Amino acid sequence: MTAFDVIDNSPVTKFHRKLLIACCGGPFLDGYIISLIGVALIGFANDIPSNTVEAGLIGAASVVGMFFGATIFGALTDRIGREKMYALDLAVLVIACALSAFVDAAWQLIVLRFIIGLAIGADYPIATSLLTEFTPSKRRGFMIGLSGLAWTVGAMFAFLVSYIVVSFSGGYGQWRALLFSGAVVGIIVVLLRRGIPESPRWLAGKGRIDEAEKVMKLVYGNHVTLDVADITADTRHRSFLGDLASLTRGGYLKRTIMCGTLYSTQIIPQNVLYTFGGIILVAAGIHGSSAETLGQLLIAALFAVGILPALRLIETWGRRPMTVFPFALMSLAMIALGIWQNAPSWFVVAGFAFYALVSGGPSVLEWIYPNELFPTEVRATAVGVAVACSRIGAAIGIYLTPIGITTIGLNGTLFIGAAITVIGFLVCAAWAPETKGRTLAEAASIGSPRGSRDERAVAGSKGAS
C-alpha cells in the first residue's frame, strides 16, 4: 500500500466537485467558442469584406492553433507543472476573445482565432491531467468522461445563444457581441479555477516531497509521508520526463497509436456532422429555411444524449467494451448510409441519429484513455499528442467534406466516413486495454495486466539508482 492510495480510495468530496466543474469549464468553453464562429462569420462577412481564402483560414485557424497548443503546451505542462498553466491558458483565451469583438480586418480575426486555438489546445492536457491525478479510481472514468459531455453542452449552448441573439436583433449584425461572449464565459471559468493546488503526484515526481505532502494534507485532511516507493509506484520513466520520444518506446508506442487513432476516428465524423450537418441533410433531400440550424441542434443534442449512458457503463461494463462495441455499431450505421443510394430522408436522419447515440463510449474514452495509460511524467504530453492527431484529421475532414459531396456524391463521402470508423474499430479491438477500477500506477504500467507491485518496485529501484 502506498501513500497515493489515499487519493485512489478517497470518497468524492467538495474539492473533487469544484475541481470537476473547473476542469470541465475548459471543454465547455471549447465547444462554445468553436461552434459560435459559424454563426458569427455570417455577420462578419456582411460587415468586413473577405475572400474565400480568408474565410477558410478564419475557420481553420483555431484548429491549427489547437494542434500546436496541445503538442507544445502538453509537453511543457509535464515539465513546469499543471497549476502554473491551469489559469494562464484561459487568461490568454479571454483576452483573445475580447479582442475579437474589435477586429476590422480578416487577418486580425485569423490571428486571434489561432491564439484561441493555442489556448484551447493547451487546456486539454492541463485540465484533464490535473483532474485525473486527483480523482478516486472508482469514479475516475465517470469524472473524466464528463469532459466530453461538457464539450457537447458547450456547443449546444453556443447554438442556443446564437439563436436568441439573431432572433432578438433581427439578423447577424451582433456578431461582435457573440465573439465577445466567449470572453465572458472564459472569465467565469478562470474564477472557478482559483484555489486549485498543484498535483501531488507531479510534485512527488519532481522530488518536491514536502509540497506534495502539504497538498495531500490540505485536500484529504490527513498527513501522509511519501517515500521512494510511493514516488516510483506512479512514475516509471523518470529519465524521459516530458520527453515526446518516451511515447514511442516499448509498449507505449501501441498506446500512443491507439489513443491517437481513437480520438481521430471518432472526432473526424463528429466534427463533420457538427459543421456540415445541415448541408448533409439538405443533400439528402431535407429542405427548408431552418434545415441547417435544425441539423446542428439535433446532432449536438443526440451526441449529448449518447454520452449519458456511456458515463455509467464505462465504470460498470468497462473501458474496452465501451470502445470496441460502439465503434462496430457506428461503422454499421455509416456503411448503411453509404450503401443505400437515394435513401429516403427518414432513413438518413435515423442513421445519423443512431450514429450519434451509440458514439457516447468513444466520445468519453478519447478523454479517459490518454490520461490513464501513461505515467505522470508524460501524461499531459500524451493527451496533447492525442489531441494534436485528432485536430489534423478534423481539419482535413472539414476541408474535404464539401468537396467530396460535390465530386463523389453524398454516398461516396459517407463510405469514406465508414472507412475511417472501421479503422478506429480495428485499432481499438487490437490494442485498447481494460483499466476499469485500476489505480493510475496499474493503468499506466506496461507488463503484467494490472501492473504488479513487484514490477513497479523494480522500476522504482532503477529510477532511484
Domain residue limits, the chain = 5-444
Q: Around Cβ 54, how many Cβ atoms within 10 Å?
A: 17
What's the rounded Cα separation, in Å, for the pair 45 and 213? 55
What pLDDT does 465 receive?
34
- Categorize the per-residue pLDDT at 292 as very low, low, confident or very high, splitting at 50, 70 and 90: low
Whether the CB-CB separation of 120 and 69 falls below 8 Å is answered with: yes
Mean pLDDT is lowest, of 81-95, 160-174, 300-314, 389-403, for 389-403
Whether the CB-CB separation of 43 and 166 falls below 8 Å is answered with: no
What pLDDT does 461 receive?
35
Residue 111 has pLDDT above 90, yes or no: yes
Residue 235 has pLDDT above 50, yes or no: no
Residue 233 has pLDDT above 60, yes or no: no
What confidence tens digit (pLDDT) does each residue in 349-405 have?
A: 788 888 888 999 999 999 899 999 988 878 888 888 888 888 787 777 767 776 777
Q: Which residues contact 81 (CB under 8 A, 6 or more apart)?
A: 198, 199, 202, 203, 206
- The radius of gyration of the chain's CA atoms, rounded to the nearest angstrom, is 22
Global confidence as pTM: 0.77
Residue 129 has pLDDT above 90, yes or no: no
What's the rounded Cα separation, in Å, for the pair 63 and 35? 12
Distances (CA, A) of 408 to 198, 343, 402, 411: 52, 16, 10, 8
What confidence tens digit (pLDDT) does each residue in 208-231 have?
A: 888 888 888 888 877 777 665 555
Indicate the CATH number of 5-444 among 1.20.1250.20, 3.10.180.10, 3.50.50.60, 1.20.1280.50.
Answer: 1.20.1250.20
- Calculate the average pLDDT of the chain: 80
What pLDDT does 449 receive?
44
What pLDDT does 346 receive?
75
